[in-house]
Structures are given as C-alpha cells and as structure tokens.
Homo-oligomer: A and B are copies of this chain.
Amino acid sequence: MIIALDAMGGDYAPAVNIEGAIETVNDVEGIDIILVGDESLIQRELDGKRSPSNRIIIKHASQIVSMDESPSVAIRKKRDSSINRGIELVKNGEADAFVSAGHSGVVMATALLQLGTSRGVVRPAIAAIMPSLKAPFVLIDAGVNLHCKPENLFQFALMGSAYCKAIFGRDDPRVSLLSIGEEDTKGNELTREAFKLLKKIEINFSGNIDGKDIFTGISDVIVCDGFTGNVVLKTSEGLADAIVKILKREIAEQSVGRIGYLLMKKALIGFKKKTDYDEYGGAPLLGINGTCIISHGRSTAKAIKNAIKVAMEFSSKKVYEVIASYIEKYMVNNIGKK
C-alpha cells in the first residue's frame, strides 16, 4: 500500500511529518510512503536518518498552503501545493490514500474538486474518533463544514453510521444529534430541522443529546455542524490537558509526596493514553471518492504515524465504497418515502 503524506502541513512540519513517516516504515510492513512537498527541504530532513530508502520517496511540490489562507484562493493560486499534488496522486492511482495535517478546509475543497463526492453526497465531512466512558465514538462533522443545512446533518448521520459499522463492527450504531438539551424541541433552527429529517429514516436515531452526555458513551455517532464539532473536539483536548496539569499540581499541594506521585503516575499515564488525541491519529474525510485523512495542525510524529495507520485501514477496508453504497441505499429509500 502506498500513502501520500503532505510533508508541509501542520505546525511542526516538515520535521515531525518526516519523523512520523520514517517510524511508520520502520514499524509497519507493506507500506510505502510518498512525501509530498519541497524536495530540498525534505531531503535535508531525511539525510542521516535511518530508514529503508526505497520505501520512502519524494514527490516535489513547490508551494505551501498556510493556515490562514482561504480555500478558494488556495485552490486557484496554489496548483503546485503539497495538498493539491498529494490528492492528485490518489486521483491518478499512484497512491492509495492521502494524509495531511495542513489546512483542513483546503484539503476538503481540493478533494471535492479532484476526487469528487460519492454519489448522492452533498457535503463531505470529517469523522473524528473520540474516547468515552464506554467505547470510542464518532464525532461528525469535526470541522470542515462551518455553515450547514439540515440536509447536511442528515447525511453526516448516515455517513457516520456507516463509518462506525465499518471500523468498529457495531451492528446498529446509535446516532445522536448534538443540541443544548435532550427534549425534541431543544436546539437552534438547524438542529430542530435536522431532527425532523432524522426521525424519518430507519437508522438507530436516539434523538438529541447535550454536551453533558457526550462522554458517557451512550452514542456511537454524534452529529453536529463543523463549527460546533471543532469546538467540542478542541475544548475536550484543552480540558483534558488542563486537568492533567491541575491534578499534578493538586498532588504537589496535598503534599502526597514522592510515593503518592509514583503511585499516581501510572494512573495518569493510563488516563493520558485514553484521552490523548495523538493516539487516535487522523480523521477521515467521509463522502468523497477516495481516502483522505486529516490530522490536526498540532500533530506530533506519533499522531502522523497513527494517521497513516488510519489511512491504511480506511483504504484496505474500502470504507469509502461502503459509505457510498450506504448513502445511496438510504437516500433512495428516503426519497422514495417522501
């Protein structure tokens, strides 16, 4: 399997991206990586590092998309960006998947343009995996669609459900709509209209949940617009980080001392691992014809490596084809019912 990796995307690129790529080929069999980006910069990073050189190759791209660029401008003016060239490799069949920690809006817009959507899909969405008290769940959309229509949330629910089935093997995933209260009538105009649409189809739709229930594990799939999803994802990351810091401080203040700290360290490490977003790696873009994995901007080498693993799984299970057939089935059924 060949993965195209955006060497230039993310806050710590290209160093951590290349490190992640090297770790992957050293640890995982049967995977080759194409590093897409500035050839001389990449070569300099690669020089002197131990990796099977025949399993990592470079595809030159002269331009870099910065985080504050507008997708429409980036698409027009940066044809030779690492994002555009990387997705092109997927389109041309030279790579099985594309992984980027760069500008998610530009990745989405480029994927839409180059690969197109699965039949029936109006807007692709990012599906992030998050931990809960029970099993991990899917949050969709985790950040690309900042302005949504009820029909978009409806499709996110379908895609999220199909994805959850495909990767976790859960039979009939429980899908919830993120709102500000459990009652059917709670929410803004968008969620109230989406609620009505979701009530009509035969997926396992449990209704509204509010933020308080997100981490209880009562939902397999949580649906929201991309602005809200991004806020949930990042607020959770920020709070988990803050809590680890507060606890360390508490331990010091309580003068539990060195023994207490050592006893607690294992528990904290276990906890950190369960809530560490690096562990979950990247989030796939669902609803496009191909495999694109988005890793977040602050990705470490570990996060990049895990994102590549997600890409492998997504691609080998042909998840995007599963989703396409699922959407087609339900959209046809749904249209038939109207």
Interface residues of A (CB under 8 A from B): 67-68, 70, 132-133, 143, 146-147, 178, 180-181, 183-189, 210-216, 226-228, 230-243, 245-247, 250-251, 253-254, 256, 259-260, 263-264, 266-268, 270-271, 274-275, 297-298
Chain B residue nearest to A236 (CB atoms) is: B239
Chain A interface, DSSP helix/strand/loop, else mixed: helix
Q: Is the CB of B245 within 8 A of A271?
A: no
Contacts of A241 in B (CB 8 A): 212, 215
Interface contact B238-A235, CB-CB below 8 Å: no
Query: Is the CB–CB distance between A238 and B213 below 8 Å?
Result: yes
Contact pick for A242, options B147, B216, B245, B268, CB 8 Å: B216
Number of copies of this chain in the oligomer? 2
Given contacts A242-B133, A254-B267, contact A228 B230 (CB under 8 A): no
Which of A216, A242, A271 has most chain B Cβ within 10 Å? Answer: A242
Q: Is A211's CB under 8 angstroms from B237's CB?
A: yes
Neighbour of A181 across the interface among B67, B189, B270, CB < 8 A: B67
Selected from B214, B231, B270, B274, the residue in CB contact (under 8 A) with A180 is B231
- Given A242-B132, A242-B216, A267-B264, A211-B228 contact (CB < 8 Å): no
> Is B68 touching A185 in the complex (CB atoms < 8 A)?
yes
Task: Give Cα A73 to B255, complex, Å.
Answer: 56
Give which listed residue, B146, B215, B268, B274, contacts A187 with CB less than 8 A: B146
Min C-beta distance of A133 to chain B, whole Å: 5
Given that A68-B186, A254-B267, A267-B251 are known contacts, is A235 also in contact with B234, CB under 8 Å in the complex? no
